[in-house]
Structure 1
Amino acid sequence: MRAIVVSTPGGPKALEIREIPDPVPGPGTLLVKIAAAGVNFLDIYHREGRYPLSRPFTPGSEGAGIVVAVGEGVEDFSAGDRVAWAGPMGGYAELAVVPAVQALAVPDGVELDIAAAATLQGMTAHYLTHSTYKVEAGDDVLIHAAAGGMGLLLTQIAKLRGARVIGTVSTEEKERLARAAGADEVLRYDGFAEAVRESTGGDGVQVVYDGVGAATFEGSLASLRPRGLLALYGAASGAVPPVDPMVLTSRGSLFLTRPTLANYIATREELLWRASDVFGWIASGRLHINISHRYPLADAGRAHEDLEARRTTGKLLLIPG
């Protein structure tokens, strides 16, 4: 099969397409023919070596496809089933082995490319709005990069829960996308904290969802009301420097968390809850997935370049076929 392989950490050129042996499903696993694989900032962190992995490896932690074989002991899935997953590595390929306990049945009414685009980011948006901070009707919520793949999902789900959403974007085109997703107010990054304060009558927001990191961190803290929560779920602009906890005290007994999806789908029950909600919203038309770019597998490097340069909106997919 063809697969993207990283042998040495580095830039997008570290993503090399190779012919490698077809994987074989072991006990408790599925062999899946991949229809589409999601491209995420997590993949960039893996490629760069920011999150070290044993090498060589095939990146990609999100995908969807058709089961072609099952390993010993698998009872819940059969060849021909449509499945998606988030977490197991190896999505940048034509075939992948996926643990059955981490596989999700894709329901009728959800296409495989949509499932590939929605699983990791959709469940991330779910845990952020339902568990990290449980958004309630009437809450003021600040979402950075509101026109990105995560931002569009967070905006829609926060609106489903009755929040007033303030988004940040960098261009007029991105502002239009954020407003179409339901954002009540859209700001540019320059001076956003002061604008958030003004928009909330000086109070600040209950929660900030920040996937940007270094460039927005200080402003995110300054946007919170007393006892507000900053969910720093990514670092697209770079890692945040060490923080003195006394800063949280001086700004009003704030909460700061650096969550990750793995800790919020730690049980099969929790995984199915989040995926069921996300797929159900998609099937019913309440959650819309914006796939802005589809790339051939061999163009994985270009996909990373476009994502890092913020030349895209919505979700990026690799298509192996």
Structure 2
Amino acid sequence: MDARTNTGGPAGSGPGRGAVDGAAPRPGRAAALRERWFACSCALGWGAAAEWPDPAVDAVCAVVTARHPGGTAARDRAVERALARWAGARAGAGVGLAETLTDLAALNTAVSGGGSDTPGRDDPTASALDVAPPGRGPDGVRLLRAVSVAWTDVACGDLAETAAVDPLSGLASVRYLRTRLAEIYRAARAHGHAAGEEHALVVLALDVRDWRRVAPLTIAGEAAGVVFDAGESIAVVGRGTVVVLAPRGGLAERAAVLRRLLGRRLAAAEGMVGTPSVRIARLPATHDGACALLERLRDEGPDEPGPDEPGPAEV
């Protein structure tokens, strides 16, 4: 079986089709690289040939073989993004990290090994992989790190959905926070009032980068625990968001204290970009609405505010 069968994508979505991050795709080279990558993966021990093809594979091949008008830096960023998406797809499909990294090594062999007709060989626009194979030199380490982090994001995200504690930060998980919210809504209903009358969410949004985000998240969780130390629930939601479920009494003042404390503690933290934001988000009318809010908070970036309290959201 060759790598062109069972792509797992829609018809016409093969390698090299369409624009690639503003670059000029070269479908012939992408298809050739895909075939060589598949052969190298099989040679390195890929177990189930039918499970190797994936649309993310096509995307990597397209980016690696495209002409990037933005130069080396733009090319390297595009390759890193494509490999991160590919690693996430592998994790989502149940492929282990060791097998994913072996497949990455196969891609390196496909790009940099072989004769002059090898896709990317003697082509300065082909890929960062041809210059710095994964595992060698700073660029190789960077790509290995990006792949490992992307794989872990998906794998540990799935784990966090079934655990009470987030495996990376040590804070409470989204699942635990959903459970606590269900209790809050049940208690509010039993007493004849809305959950949002007595509780709200304090949202700490951190602009963090790659593997170094664990330290800022942990610091943020510890700072939140200093300010909210009376049994409030503190949970991590997404890559860079910490949420506190707290009583409304004096909440604006406590949120202001937390923001100042975070500014001091995160000033020298690796992985931080910009300053953290702290805002208060109202609880929706229903528990289902609260769970949907958590999903939005998980997906939003630091500059994409969610549904805040009336008046100034930043405190």
Superposition TM-score tier, normalisation by shorter sequence: under 0.3
* More contact order relative to length (CA 8 Å, sep ≥ 6): 1
* Structure with the larger strand share: 1
* Structure with the larger helix share: 2
Bigger CA radius of gyration: 2
